Amino acid sequence: MSLDQSLRDELSALVGAHFGALDLDPAFGQVAPSQRPELGQFQCNGALAAAKSAKRPPRQIADAVVERLARDGRFRDLSIAGPGFVNFSLADDFLVDRVTALFDDPATGCRIGHAPRTVVLDFGGPNVAKAMHVGHLRASIIGDCLQRLCRQVGDRVTSDVHLGDWGLPMGMLIAEIARDAPELPYFDAAYDGPYPDASPVSIDDLQELYPRASARTKEDDEALAAARQATFELQRGRPGYRALWERMVAVSVEAMRADFEALGVRFDLWDGEACVHDLIDPMIQRMTDAGIAEPSEGALIVRVARPDDKAEMPPLVLLKSDGGVMYSTTDLATIVNRVERQDPDAIVYVVDGRQSLHFEQVFRTARLAGLVRDDVALEHVGFGTVNGTDGKPFRTRAGGVVRLSELIAMATEEAGKRLSEAGLAQELSEAERAAIARNVGIAAIKFADLQNQRHSNYVFDLERFTRFEGRTGPYLLYAAVRLRSLLRKAADQGFAAGGLAPETDAERDLMLTLAALPEAVRGAYERYQPHILCEHVYNVAQAFNRFYHDCHILSEQDLVRRGARLRLAEVTLAQIALALTILGLEIPDRM
Ligand code: ARG
């Protein structure tokens, strides 16, 4: 038995070998979970197809396969339905071995079946001076889950927040501050070196300045020209602008760190677009020399369209006609930087799906210019939008962006209400309950986000996210807390766990569900789809609840049976805890 193979693949190989022994193609041995559980845990419909190709009656083939499987010893409840559908369940010993192996495995079943990779994960992507909104929330939650998942399977991961700190918005802010406070030394053309005082702008100032500046540049061409000029001079290194910019970045980063901290999201690198600025000129030179970059109407572009493109593929703009650099330019220089510093096997961008054209252009350019080796994967892991109950992108009642901190506060409040309604954690102090409510609120948001297929949009509905039943974060946390308390009680009473020994279908179902972890982990990993793992952990919690309902555990008088059930509870808790950790949910001590 090897955990590198999913249970389903392993069974298919086993059954396939019996087809092979009957001179039939082993591929007919495909096994799938049963669609009629009353007939068994698994089914194999291969006898029908095999019959066609071998020109033999399907029933005869099914009989022969079943006969061989019966002698194997690893199966039970073998039967044939209809013209030749083979149904079977796993023998208890087989199931016990499988779940035990998973539990004892140093990799806890989180194996991908190939050598670990070096991965740069670009996610979060907040912008300086702008409040983080729900879009950044998604990038952060999904990105963080993928970082945990990649690490769990052994990849070497460098996570990079990739701050938006270098475009026109920076020049807009500088121009706006110059308008408000021209006396600041930063605007003195002779300014040289950093200014020793604290920043002239706080995060609140910035968040007030930003929309104002943005509106002004939209309405007023002169303001736009001033913003462009300031951006240009900043990028060329004008010392006063540079100093002011550094302070704006510093106050923004401080606020972002607090937000990410609250979410439990960590980054290895706090690099931004600006940090690759010096790599841009040599990169452009290289691309011009190679004939990839070409002038067009004063700008410098790269034609990335291919003859077989189905949709229009506009050229990538490397330099605007005013010499300013673009979002794409910094993304390309960042690739150069990452190749130099991390030498990754893959660079993965967890960014809004609406930026797919941008990434396609960037990736094509990087390939054309040979900025990365051909075997380095460049992947855009896109995601859908978060909408309000009205179906439009989620906003405040006044139509503004909802700050991340506000979102967390709202979720905390809703979770607190739910906890009191359910009569949970009543015996705890006010402060302890507040901490649990926050934890549960964040788990609710994260799970609600991760359980969707990445590409679909979803409605931000805290009422639904914070429920204690159904596919929610709180439901899973509660399952884990309840399991912990069960095991604590067992320990208090001196009850020891023994070997697994299923007796009821509830126990067998739970074990079978647990055995599907490697598949779920691999699926989530290979497709960058956390919802696959969400689905798995939800199934485990459901199967556990049935077991808990159907079987006595602490009140079981038979020592061996009690030990076996405690063991099953332990294994289940370990797996739920592992899955929740990968999803970024923290299990509270009490609930
Ligand atoms: N700052 C960008 C935004 O808010 C996201 C950055 C994503 N990462 C990247 N390498 N382009 O849309």
| Whether 103 contacts 571, CB under 8 Å | yes
Q: Cβ distance 507 to 92 under 8 Å? A: no
Task: Give the per-residue SS3 of 111-156.
Answer: CCCCCCCEEEEEECCCECCCCCCHHHHHHHHHHHHHHHHHHHCCCE
End-to-end CA distance of the chain: 39
Check residue 194 and give its pLDDT: 75
Nearby residues of 232 by Cβ (< 8 Å), 6 or more positions away: 171, 322, 323, 324
Mutation probe of ligand 1 site: the residue of 162, 330, 404 with most atoms within 8 A of C-beta: 162
Give the per-residue pLDDT at 329: 96
473-495 pLDDT, tens digit per residue, is: 999 999 999 999 999 999 999 99
By residue range, what is the domain housing residue 71?
7-90
What pLDDT shows up at residue 317? 97
Pocket of ligand 1 (CB under 6 A): 122, 125, 127, 162, 164, 331, 349, 351
Write the pLDDT tens digit of every residue in 132-170.
878 889 999 999 999 999 999 999 999 999 999 998 999
- For the record, the structure tokens of 511 come out as 């074990």
Who contacts 402 (Cβ-Cβ below 8 Å, separation ≥6)? 133, 134, 394, 395, 396
C-alpha 10, offset from chain centre:
28
Q: Indicate which residue's Cα is closest to atom 10 of ligand 1.
A: 331
Closest CA to 474 of 411, 535, 518, 528: 411
The reply to whether 292 and 440 lie within a common domain is no
**Domain check: are 236 and 284 in the same one?**
no
The whole-number pLDDT of residue 396 equals 77
Within-domain flag for 61: yes
Q: What is the pLDDT of residue 3?
A: 66
* Whole-prediction pTM: 0.94
577 Cα to the center of ligand 1, angstroms: 32
For ligand 1, atom 11, name the residue with the nearest CA.
331
Cα–Cα dist 303/294, whole Å: 8
State whether residue 9 is helix, strand or coil: helix
Last residue within a domain, chosen from 263, 295, 310: 263
Nearest ligand 1 atom to the CA of 164 is 1
Of 263, 294, 310, which marks where a domain is finished? 263
Average pLDDT of the chain? 94
Mean pLDDT of 387-394: 87
Domain with residue 31: its CATH number is 3.30.1360.70
From 273, 335, 351, 383, give the residue whose CB has the most ligand 1 atoms within 8 Å, as the site to mutate: 351
For ligand 1, the distance from its centroid to the CA atom of residue 123, given in whole angstroms, is 8
Could you tell me which residues are beta bridge partners of residue 544? none
Same domain, 196 and 160: no
Domains held by the chain: number? 4
Assigned domain for 107 exists: no
Which ligand 1 atom is at minimum distance from the Cα of 135? Answer: 4
> 257 and 323: one domain?
no
Residue 2 has pLDDT above 70, yes or no: no
Distances (CA, A) of 219 to 176, 206, 214, 224, 303: 14, 20, 9, 8, 32
Looking at residue 134, which CATH number applies to its domain?
3.40.50.620
DSSP assignment of 485-550, as one string?
HHHHHHHHTT---------SHHHHHHHHHHTTHHHHHHHHHHHT-HHHHHHHHHHHHHHHHHHHHH
**pLDDT on residue 346:** 98
Residue 567 belongs to domain with CATH number: 1.10.730.10
CA-closest residue to ligand 1 atom 3: 125
Distance CA 268, CA 270 (A): 7
**86 domain-assigned:** yes
Q: Look at ligand 1, atom 7, and give the residue with the nearest C-alpha.
A: 125
Per-state percent for the chain, helix, strand, coil, to nearest 5: 55, 10, 35
How far is it, in rounded angstroms, from Cα 316 to Cα 327? 10
Q: In this structure, which residue's CA is closest to atom 6 in ligand 1?
A: 125
pLDDT at 196: 66
What local confidence, expressed as pLDDT, does residue 373 receive?
97
Same domain, 471 and 553: yes
* Domain-embedded: residue 100: no
Do both 569 and 447 map to the same domain? yes
Residue 493 lies in a domain: yes
Task: Write the secondary structure of 419-474 as one string of H (helix), E (strand) and C (coil).
Answer: HHHCCCCCCCCHHHHHHHHHHHHHHHHHHHHHCCCCCCCEECCHHHHCCCCCCCHH
% of the chain beyond a pLDDT of 70: 99
3-state secondary structure string across 536-563:
HHHHHHHHHHHHHHHCCCCCCCCHHHHH
Instruction: Please give the share of the chain, as a percent, with pLDDT higher than 90.
Output: 84
Nearest CA to ligand 1 atom 12: 125
**Looking at the domain assignment, is residue 102 inside a domain?**
no
Asked whether residue 1 carries a pLDDT value surpassing 60, the answer given is no
Please give the radius of gyration of the chain, using alpha carbons only, rounded to the nearest integer: 29
Tokens of 219: 């309405």
Closest CA to 446 of 139, 147, 161, 162: 139
Answer yes or no: do 136 and 44 share one domain.
no
- 348 and 430 assigned to the same domain: no
Considering the domain architecture, whether residues 305 and 419 belong to the same structural domain is answered as: no
Same domain assignment for residues 82 and 228: no
- 233 and 322 in one domain? no
Judge whether 589 lies within some domain. no
pLDDT digits (tens, 9 = 90+) for 279-298: 999 999 999 999 999 999 99
Mean predicted confidence (pLDDT) in 85-104: 95
Residues 296 and 154 placed together within one structural domain of the fold: yes
How many C-beta atoms surround the C-beta of residue 504 within 10 A?
Answer: 13
Of the residues 387, 412, 442, the one at which a domain ends = 387
Whether residue 108 lies inside any domain: the answer is: no
